Amino acid sequence: KIASTAKIGFSFILAKVFIMVEKARIGHFNVCKKIDRLVMKEGSHIGSWNQITGFSKDDYFFRKEPDRMCEFVLEENSGITLRHYIDCNGGIYVGAFTTIAGTGSQILTHSIDVYENCQRVKPVHIGKYCFLGTKCVVLAGAKLPDYSVLAAGSVLTRPYTSDKSSVYGGVPAKVVKELDIHDVGYFHRSSFMVE
């Protein structure tokens, strides 16, 4: 289902279910393959040269994870810029007005359980009005709370549930600075674009 105001550049989109609502955009040279669902809500954006990948829900490699959802959901006015690697096997959920910025970030929702010798998945949740700097790594099961910044080069390894606006940074990422939501202009945008 592709809205009449949605736009797609020269990209390969191979998802079983593909939904783009009003004003959603996909740039050039993206590859999206073998996922069950790609959902882009109003004004959401995928830049260029991104790789969005996974294995369909019924794939052999994930037979011990029958309830997983291999999907990528971008809420309204959220987006990713360029040259990122997005592994959707456990599901990735990006909140409204969030930007996966810069280049070269990786979001990984699966890994090998060396004890049981099998693939395991956990979803990744990135809250609303979040900003991820360049070359971040977000691992399976991680959660970045609303109104948060993940500093460039950081590795988010676990779920954070704080209701305080903060900057997370380091390897592994932890709170390095609290923010006042009222002082941060990025948290008050009305579109995907930054002035």
What does the pLDDT average to over 154-174? 95
Nearest CA to 44 among 84, 5, 85? 5
Each residue's pLDDT tens digit, 99-152: 999 999 999 999 988 998 888 999 999 999 999 999 999 999 999 999 999 999
Q: What is the pLDDT of residue 190?
A: 84
Q: What is the pLDDT of residue 183?
A: 92
Query: How many Å apart are CA 179 and CA 9, to the nearest integer?
Result: 37
Each residue's pLDDT tens digit, 25-75: 999 999 999 999 999 999 999 999 999 999 887 677 787 888 889 999 999
The two three-digit tokens of residue 53, written as one number: 């990948």
Per-state percent for the chain, helix, strand, coil, to nearest 5: 5, 40, 55
Query: How many Å apart are CA 112 and CA 24, to the nearest integer?
Result: 34
pLDDT-wise least confident of 3-7, 100-104, 115-119, 165-169: 115-119
String of DSSP letters for 158-190: SB---SS-EEEETTTTEEEEE--GGG-GGGG-S
Q: How far is CA 11 from CA 14, 21, 35, 74, in A?
A: 10, 17, 15, 17
What number of CA atoms fall less than 13 Å from residue 53's CA on the CB side?
9
Q: What is the pLDDT of residue 195?
A: 63
Q: Is the confidence at residue 191, as pLDDT, over 90?
A: no
Contact predicate 161/145, CB 8 Å: yes
Say how far residue 134 (Cα) sits from the centre of its chain. Answer: 13
Query: How many Å apart are CA 96 and CA 84, to the nearest integer?
Result: 19
185: helix, strand or coil: helix
What does the pLDDT average to over 90-106? 97
More confident residue, 59 or 156: 156
Q: Is the confidence at residue 94, as pLDDT, over 80?
A: yes
Query: How many Å apart are CA 70 and CA 151, to the nearest integer?
Result: 27
| pLDDT level of residue 3 (50, 70, 90 thresholds) | very high
